Amino acid sequence: MIDLQNLHAFITVARYGSFSAAAKHLHITQPAVSKRIKSIEEQLDVRLFDRVHKNLSLTPAGQSLLGKAETIYQASTDMQRHASNLKSMVTGELSIATSHHIGLHRLPPILKQFRQQYPAVTLDLHFVDSEQASHGIEKGDYELAIVTLADSLPEKISSQLLWQDPLSIVVANDHILTTKRQPSVAEIADHPSVLPEVNTYTYNILSTALSERLLSAKVAIHTNYLETIKMLIIAGYGWSILPQTMLDDRLTILTTELHLCRHLGVINHSERTLSNAGQALLNLLQNHADMLFSK
């Protein structure tokens, strides 16, 4: 029988294209990853990867076997979760993903409560972009992801709205746009901006709103971390959009006719069984959101 740890190592190396990146994701050493790959190659009597200088790629055999390996590993993981659920115990490892902003500004009280109620659960927390988190849910890397929700998600991804996250257009207090009582969107767009990468949900919200007015942003810097964007705005590198939870007296809000808002929520794979730990965290997230909506 094929060892599931070896199978997981094969899938992870193929996904990240690197033994070192796979080792970091699996929380083991690089030699341990190499040993697992060597073991499964010997067991199957095929070479799974070509190693040419520093480049790593799947062999034809590796490409052919990857899909089957992912199916077998996910089926095994699902069976283990189901068996654990039968015991009605909230234990084991829970792998979740979230963005830096949500992790810093939304999750701390929820994770504190989760830790207090379920101390036997080991949390495997990954900070990634919302787009990466969604892809990770599809691939089975994470059980839950708390992210910015896209307008449309893959068919097998279930989502639940947790928070509305209004966005404001902001500049440094000494920016020239603060001298205007209410600058038009066109005037704002004509100035340099500091925005998230073009493939992010947050960028698309702004880009869509500008496109509807036949405008586009003049981007000076792209970066995905909202905390970094805030720092660059304060330093005078341009205007941007930020959640209202991040605003302080070092920033000036520009009042416009734009009403921008992100939808933050939790996603999971609809065809995979949630562990008891995953369900417990999902319940806490839902209860927290319900309390906010009821205020």
pLDDT of 180 above 90: no
CA atoms within 13 Å, Cβ hemisphere of 167? 23
CATH code matching the domain that covers 164-260, chosen among 3.40.190.290, 3.90.850.10, 3.40.47.10, 1.10.150.530:
3.40.190.290
Cα 95 from Cα 84, distance rounded (Å): 15
> Which of 65-74, 110-119, 138-147 has the lowest average pLDDT?
65-74
| Backbone angle region of 7, left / alpha / beta, with phi > 0 → left and psi within -120 to 50 → alpha | alpha
pLDDT attached to residue 295: 42
Task: Read off the tokens for 257.
Answer: 């006719």
Task: Read off the tokens for 37.
Answer: 């790959």
Contact indicator for 135, 269 with CB cutoff of 8 Å: no
DSSP state of 214: T
pLDDT of 293 above 50: no
Same fold, 90-163+264-294 and 164-260: yes
pLDDT of 55 above 70: yes
pLDDT of 240 above 90: yes
- Please state, for a pLDDT cut of 70, what percent of the chain lies above it: 96
Range 181-185 average pLDDT: 89
Cα 220 from Cα 23, distance rounded (Å): 36
Beta bridge partners of 261: 166
Range 72-98 average pLDDT: 80
Q: If you average pLDDT over every residue of the chain, what do you get?
A: 89
Beta bridge partners of 142: none
pLDDT band at 292 (very low <50, low <70, confident <90, very high): low
pLDDT of 236 above 50: yes
Class of domain 90-163+264-294: alpha beta
CATH topology of domain 4-85: Arc Repressor Mutant, subunit A (1.10.10)
pTM, to two decimals: 0.69
CA atoms within 13 Å, Cβ hemisphere of 123? 19
- Letter for the amino acid at 186? A
> Residues 6 or more apart from 278 whose CB is under 8 A from it?
81, 94, 143, 144, 268
Pairwise pLDDT comparison (233 vs 287), residue with the higher score: 233
Contact indicator for 272, 259 with CB cutoff of 8 Å: no
pLDDT band at 290 (very low <50, low <70, confident <90, very high): low
Domain residue ranges in the chain: 4-85, 90-163+264-294, 164-260
Cα 76 from Cα 11, distance rounded (Å): 14
- Please state, for a pLDDT cut of 90, what percent of the chain lies above it: 60
Strand residues in 24-156 grouped as ranges (E) = 49-52, 55-58, 92-98, 121-127, 144-148
pLDDT attached to residue 79: 79
Read off the pLDDT of residues 133-176 as tens digits, 9 standing for 90 and up.
998 998 888 999 999 998 888 888 999 999 999 999 999 999 99
- Number of other CB atoms surrounding residue 103 within 10 Å: 17
pLDDT attached to residue 74: 82
For residue 62, what is the enclosing H or E element? helix 60-86
> Residues 6 or more apart from 7 whose CB is under 8 A from it?
40, 69, 72, 73
Task: Read off the tokens for 274.
Answer: 């949630």
Cα 137 from Cα 156, distance rounded (Å): 10
